[in-house]
Structure 1
Amino acid sequence: MTTRPDTTLCLHDVQEEQARSSPAVWAVVEDDLRFDYRTAQRRVLQLASVLRSRGVGPGDRVAWLGLNSFRVVELMIAAGRLGAMICPLNWRQTVDELEFVLADLAPTVVVAYPDPTQGDEGVHPRLRAAAEEATWYIVDGSAEGYESVLTAADPDVTPARSDPTAPVLIMYTAAHEGRPNGAMMTHQGLIAAGVVHAVMHGAFDGGQPVFLAALPLYHIATFMGCLSTLLLGGTVVYLPRASPEGISGLLASERCTWAYLTGPIIGQVAEAVEAAGSSLPDFRTPEAYVSADPRWASLGTPSPAPWSRYPGAFGQTELTGIVTYTALAVGAEGAAGRPSPWCLVRVVDGEDEDVPQGEPGEIVVRGLTAGAGYWNRDEVNAQRSRGGWWHTGDLGRRESDGSLSFVGPKTRMVKSGKENIYPVEVERCLREHPAIADVAVLGVPDPVWEQSVKAVVVPVAGETLTEDEVVAHCRERIASYKKPRHVVFAADLPRKAGRVDRDELDRLYDGGGYPGVGA
């Protein structure tokens, strides 16, 4: 048998190589901390030693509960060395939502990073109880805290596990069926997606990439920016909690070359840069920023990146982010473009047969960036992965030139400020109110947020209910961005064959603006 080199490559291998190739390059900047790739590698080995001592091994989960931090990435790499997974939790969610996720995840270790500016001095007792079997570490500077335990540990010298197909990252996605699912992503998927992400965003143009991680790391977009920069041996600047002033200050002082900003904060940052009298000569400004606020035209250097000029795409967290890019099909019929080299895409009917060109069907995907399914959801995984293809639950259309159009989710979804909100989750919350007999939720166009949530509520006979009471009920139980911005009361809901008629609901209550291009 012919002997050949080892072809496996995991995230911890990438980190190790950067420590050899770029030992003195700044890997991380966060608040007053700044360290190079040599130090980053030592911290990962020390952290792996800590995790191993707490019983973390293959298939185990480590949870991060808190603000943005470089520690999320080093936890992922250290956990990956042991065959385990990291899950950054959505800190914007309510205690009820986080309690469910922690109980579902059953982590072996939880690291919490409370927000000192919000008076968070610890962790809610219900969250402790939801993961009572876990070892908890707090990033607080104490003798028992995360930093103290890490720096006191000896580096782990045990050979790392090397399975590129093993999941290493879990992100809980919006709730299709009323409860969220944890999408698992693999070493090979993250590396492959990170390479394409770097190319599409022009992360490396001959200079040293410096990425500002300002928006939440529990979203795949910001996480991919950090990962792409790691793959290129660049610097990631972490901002624990985003603010226009904080973003503008770091863009200038750290000479950041790129960042992921979206929605109203694009204009707010431009205003903050202008107010501070700063300039951003190193920043590569995407065309979308200039379109959102013309002041960006004079704040940086125009980005030549493909994503800047052609930002359309189709993707989902379960597929490690973006699958198809408009930039790979410039001038094509389909607005979603064509797949990256790592993916195969089909559009199928209910029998999983390919539909003719021009006909809508479900988008199914396989390839390197396809994830490992959902954590702890065997039945759902069997259904979504049938035939060896990941069934996205999204509708698409193959155009005559072979390019792809995204039609929309099979299940109605609201997109507000880039957050995915499934009506069924908000409806489930509202049905818990004793004065609500029936309810339906829809999305309505919003000039600032793309869409906002509207609830059509049927009160229990004889009960009185106000709009404020409905909104307050949601605010206490689900993330604030999911609560209705509009509430209307009705005697009944439009139905067809016993189910709520979503199209008629939109017609009656001014729904629209949903993701996709329409069937």
Structure 2
Amino acid sequence: MSWDTDWLKKRARITPDRVAVVDGETRERWTYHNLHDRAERLASYLLEIGVTKGERVALISPNNIWYFDLMFACTKLGAIFVPINWRLSKNEIYYILEDCQPKLIAYHDKFKPLLSSRYRGSLLNINQQHEILLKKTSLQHYFVDVDETDPLAIIYTGGTTGKPKGAVLTHQSIFHNAINTITSWNLTGDDTTVTYLPMFHTGGLNALSIPLLHIGGKVVIDDKFEVQRIIKVINEERCTILLLVPTMYHVLTETELFQKTSFPSMHTFLSGGAPCSYRIYDAFAKKGLAFKEGYGLTEAGPNNFYINPNDVMKKRGSVGKPMLYNNVKIIDHNGDEVRCSEVGEIVISGHHLFAYYWNNPTVTAETKKNGWLYTGDLGRFDEDGYFYIVGRKKDMIITGGENVFPLEVEHIIAEHEMVAEVAVVGISDEKWGEVVTAFIVPKEGVSLMKEEIELYCKAYLGSYKVPKIIRFVSHLPKTAVGKIDKKQLVEMVL
């Protein structure tokens, strides 16, 4: 073992009395000493029921401290933490449990119906038993030789393109993402965030929560995204940095309360998970607040870029430059690096990469090659070395032999004053191969015509990029983490 993987033990020793975690609803607070003690006691309980190194421990729960309890207990034992996406169907969850075969499933009361009776492992009702166990369980003396390359977590990536894949994150993966984030983003122990992204997702767990705990900051956990509540939490807990997905920012910036709030403690608003509308950039710029986008994925970090907030408006839409301890390049279909402004696939290397897909060596070999992660995302960089995300390779539309990037069309339509939300997909067509198709949510109380959108697009886009099919809808379907579910949109037309 080249370094001690149990860094929480040392953090608790250095800053035992600092507040580590706050419940956003009850405002219950836990210090670093509390956090470490809970993990020690839970590790002792897991040992009592026979959980050993390499075995999986699953959790299905809304955001709360139990995520940290189980993850840090697994850190100590060399066990593998598996947070479960509770927004999946019962069959999808059963598939995940069959795939990873957890020794124990800890669950919240309200998600008990999602657990199939076919599952034969141990169950722990965290509402009824968890706190009692922590009080009653006596600390055991144990030693487990845990190496940095041992698995720490399996995070299953979305199921919109097939069965979920379990991305295995090692102690090294999570540690290096934390260090890279802290050093590149200049995080300190004085920083506070509130985690609204679901903690079964890498954005909720690893984007800010783990890095801030690593440096001795404060993490507020909440799971009810309501504008009045989030603004209250930000101001009362004096949050300094926040990560939301674009759909959350869309809701936030459209409210009168956002316009009236100055956010005096905040230094950075971050957006991730999907490309962001320029309208959101403008909403923050008008208030003089720092706003920027990031880029990442479960298999890499998820943090990979840094951009100075002072550069955001002159490089609007850019995710910035690669962080200190990772490398990024953009390649063409032959694997050669592209030139400035050319579009290609984003590939990433660094110690923060995932190790492999659980029980899936074939897809692992297709995704990781010679130490590089092939993301399937398209990007470009400008003459100053700033990177821009163009979209997913699988989302690129080829119509009449021309390439159309949905994000470009979405950005244009989103700027229309009567449009609330938009998503663009390609629909199979006998004549054109694919046709550009736009799904538009009009602003409340307004009426839009297809011809209006067509004329608007023709003023800014080449004719082949103008949507041939335009559908007005009341809402856009979203995935578990708030991304627009484009697979569902395609199915709505077919």
Residue 93 of structure 2 aligns with which residue? 98
Residue 510 of structure 1 aligns with which residue? none
CA distance in 1, matches of 2:217, 2:81: 22
Residue 129 of structure 1 aligns with which residue? 117
Q: 1:325 aligns with which of 306, 309, 315?
A: 306
Amino acid at match of 1:322: N
Residue 26 of structure 1 aligns with which residue? 19
1:401-430 CA distance string (max 9 Å, x none): 65544343222289999xxx9999xx9xxx
CA distance in 1, matches of 2:281, 2:367: 41
Aligned length: 423
Amino acid at match of 2:323: S
Choose 408-417 or 176-185, whichever is displaced more: 408-417
Question: Normalising to structure 2: TM-score of the pair?
Answer: 0.71
Residue 183 of structure 1 aligns with which residue? 167
Q: 1:214 aligns with which of 165, 179, 196?
A: 196
SS in 1 for 2:71: helix
CA distance in 2, matches of 1:74, 1:8: 22
Amino acid at match of 2:352: T
CA distance in 2, matches of 1:441, 1:33: 53
Residue 46 of structure 1 aligns with which residue? 41
Residue 130 of structure 2 aligns with which residue? 146
Matches within 5 A, 1:9-408: 9-10=4-5, 12-13=6-7, 15-30=8-23, 31=26, 33-114=28-109, 120=110, 123-124=112-113, 127-129=115-117, 132-140=119-127, 142=128, 145-175=129-159, 177-198=161-182, 203-204=187-188, 208-223=190-205, 224-266=207-249, 269=252, 274=257, 280-284=263-267, 286=269, 292=280, 308=290, 311-327=292-308, 335-350=318-333, 352-355=335-338, 359-397=342-380, 404-408=387-391
Contact 1:333 1:399 in 2 (8 A): no
Displacement of 1:318 after TM fit? 0.5
CA distance in 2, matches of 1:54, 1:83: 15
Amino acid at match of 1:69: N
CA distance in 1, matches of 2:155, 2:435: 25
1:9-66 CA distance string (max 9 Å, x none): 42x22x1122111111111222253221111111111111112223322322221112
CA distance in 1, matches of 2:245, 2:366: 34
Displacement of 1:268 after TM fit? 5.0
Residue 505 of structure 1 aligns with which residue? none
1:281-312 CA distance string (max 9 Å, x none): 3233539899639887899xx66xxxx45x24
Specify whether residues 63 and 401 from structure 1 end up closer, same or farther in structure 2 by C-alpha distance, changes over 3 A only. same
SS in 1 for 2:38: helix
Contact 1:346 1:365 in 2 (8 A): yes
Q: Which runs of 5+ in 2 are unaligned?
A: 397-405, 415-422, 429-433, 444-470
Contact 1:185 1:320 in 2 (8 A): no
CA distance in 1, matches of 2:359, 2:425: 23
CA distance in 1, matches of 2:214, 2:61: 25
1:159-188 CA distance string (max 9 Å, x none): 353322222122221247411211122222
Choose 377-386 or 51-60, whichever is displaced more: 51-60
Contact 1:343 1:366 in 2 (8 A): yes
Contact 1:174 1:422 in 2 (8 A): no
Displacement of 1:266 after TM fit? 3.7
Displacement of 1:319 after TM fit? 0.6
Specify whether residues 167 and 423 from structure 1 end up closer, same or farther in structure 2 by C-alpha distance, changes over 3 A only. farther
Specify whether residues 176 and 298 from structure 1 end up closer, same or farther in structure 2 by C-alpha distance, changes over 3 A only. closer
CA distance in 2, matches of 1:347, 1:333: 20
SS in 2 for 1:322: coil
Q: CA RMSD in A?
A: 4.4
1:127-150 CA distance string (max 9 Å, x none): 2435x232111122x3xx122123
CA distance in 1, matches of 2:203, 2:12: 25
Residue 403 of structure 2 aligns with which residue? none
Amino acid at match of 1:109: L
Displacement of 1:83 after TM fit? 1.6
Question: Normalising to structure 1: TM-score of the pair?
Answer: 0.68
Contact 1:248 1:269 in 2 (8 A): no
Specify whether residues 296 and 361 from structure 1 end up closer, same or farther in structure 2 by C-alpha distance, changes over 3 A only. closer
Residue 417 of structure 2 aligns with which residue? none
Specify whether residues 74 and 422 from structure 1 end up closer, same or farther in structure 2 by C-alpha distance, changes over 3 A only. farther
Specify whether residues 340 and 79 from structure 1 end up closer, same or farther in structure 2 by C-alpha distance, changes over 3 A only. same
Choose 247-256 or 61-70, whichever is displaced more: 247-256
Residue 444 of structure 1 aligns with which residue? 438
